[in-house]
Amino acid sequence: MTLYDPPHHLAFRGRIMAGTILDSEYEIETDGADTILRMEKVAAGPITEDEAEGIATFGDIAKFEDALRAVIER
């Protein structure tokens, strides 16, 4: 974990493979009555097209939108 500032900010670094890292950062902020989740992923090092596609597919926060909304709006 590279940053932990609950409940609004979380960042961590993971290894995709030797020589390649993936930094992920999540931030929750309020805007009036709305809650905004910002997400950023940055890969550094050699990465194949298949690995990039996997990050795009499995890192797509939209797939978890309903579950996240239920937790955030409690």
Q: What does the pLDDT average to over 38-65? A: 84
> Per the structure block, which two tokens stand in for 3?
């940053």
Kindly state the percentage of the chain with pLDDT values over 90: 28
Split into its structural domains, the chain has a count of: 1
Per-residue pLDDT at 23 = 93
Closest CA to 45 of 15, 1, 2: 15
Domain that holds residue 61: 3-72
Grouping H, G, I as helix, E, B as strand and the rest as coil, residue 39 is strand
State yes or no: pLDDT of 74 exceeds 90.
no
**Would you state the pLDDT for residue 36?**
86
**Cα gap 35→7, rounded to integer Å:** 13
9 vs 72, residue with greater confidence: 9
Q: Is the pLDDT of residue 10 over 80?
A: yes
